[in-house]
Chains A and B, each alone.
Chain A
Amino acid sequence: MPSTYEPIATNTLSSTATIITFSSIPNTYTDLVLVVACLDSGAGRTRLRLNGDSATNYSRINLVGNGSGAASYQASNETQFDLSVAAGTSSTSPTAQIISVNNYSNTTTNKTILSRYNLASGATEVMTGLYRSTSAITSVSYFTQGTMQIGTTATLYGIKAA
């Protein structure tokens, strides 16, 4: 029986960095899943960019719970996805993030993502995003508003339909 999740690449930071990029992603899977445990110097947002595209092709909706209430936010025509908008980041508590990019290699539809974000010291967030491009996704870049710290890990998985 073939594995459901196949790791495509993993990056564990041995020095600080401002961006983690997975490139040359093969088109042989059905969906992509990015799993991140991020330690960060700042208290800002975590972000994602596809295919190195920094044009205003991104929009998203976030849903946040912080222990006392729930809220929802949105933004359109942005230059990246904001995976988290209210929870912040921490240099000592890693985030727990799972990002799904479904049907990433088709060249017919715009691309959509789903993100789950948890920071025990901050909040829990979910997010859906639209990338207005029909290009197949061949690279994924994860970054923050601060500087990612040593020990941050990111693994990109491909999952394949039967």
Chain B
Amino acid sequence: MIGKIGSASGAPSIYFNGSSSGTAYAWHHLRGNGSTASVNAGTSAPYMSDVVSPSSVWNNSQFTTGVIDILDYANTNKNKTLRMLAGVDNNGSGALELYSGLWASTSAITQLDLFNGYTWQQYSSFALYGIKG
């Protein structure tokens, strides 16, 4: 995906199957901003949040790019996990994140929401692929 949002006070979030309340999500990320590396995490959360933070990197002239992998998404015997690499470069500023997320649900994933509470800007592009063994 490549994406850009307008004015924002929070980085985008991810949730599955329309479930964005409760405490079923957890996440960690390792982040670099060009000068320092940092980490952050969330537990018992209503969704996976803080995707490429801070939010200011999302509402500038360049597009954020990312690849999200959701493994064994249709399995109904185990909780679901994802990994992601995403970042934005603005020719002198920006951020880059390695991200892992947990959804404590054994339900098969039938829906993925990339939510920011604001508006995805023109020319943002999202493609969902299935990979078959």
Contact = CB atoms under 8 A, between A and B. Distances in A.
Interface size class of B (residues with CB under 8 A): 35 or more
B125 A129 contact: no
B87 A61 contact: yes
A53 interface: no
Nearest to B87: A128
A123 to B, nearest CB: 12
B89 A4 contact: no
B132 A59 contact: no
Nearest to B90: A130
Contacts of B94: 61, 74, 128, 130
Contact of B129 (A4, A108, A129): A4
B92 interface: yes
A112 B57 CA distance: 14
A126 B94 CA distance: 14
Interface of A: 1, 4-5, 30-31, 59-65, 70-74, 76-77, 100, 102-103, 106, 108-110, 112-114, 116, 126-130, 132, 159, 161-162
**Closest 4 pairs between A and B when the two form their complex, measured CB to CB:** A74-B34, A72-B32, A128-B87, A63-B32
